Amino acid sequence: MYEEISFANSDREEVEEEARELFNHIKRLGVRLDDIDVLDPCGGCRRQGYLVHIGSLPTDEVRVLNSALRELFRSTAPDSERR
């Protein structure tokens, strides 16, 4: 009989869940992050933790994202901060 063991990395799974949430928020703003990835900690450099890499965005996608974020901030900002 085999013992039940897990090879799951809970730290990575937590970061993957955060990356999924980011992906879905940005998707709701009209931009799809096709190159999003979770990068493992770097053993040979100063970076110790995981990184969420959102990839490269075409200029038109950056414009869509900027426009959606501007509108979001305008709609949630106090009246004194709206431009």
3 DSSP assignment = P
Handedness of CA 74, 75, 76, 81 (dihedral sign): positive
40 alpha carbon, distance to own chain's centre: 15
Whether residue 15 contacts residue 48, with contact meaning beta carbons closer than 8 Å, is answered with: no
In which residue are the tokens 């928020």 written?
25
pLDDT at 55: 94
**Position 1 confidence tier, pLDDT thresholds 50, 70, 90:** confident
**Position 77 confidence tier, pLDDT thresholds 50, 70, 90:** confident
Give the separation between CA 33 and CA 25, rounded to whole angstroms: 10
Query: Mean pLDDT across the stretch 36-49?
Result: 90
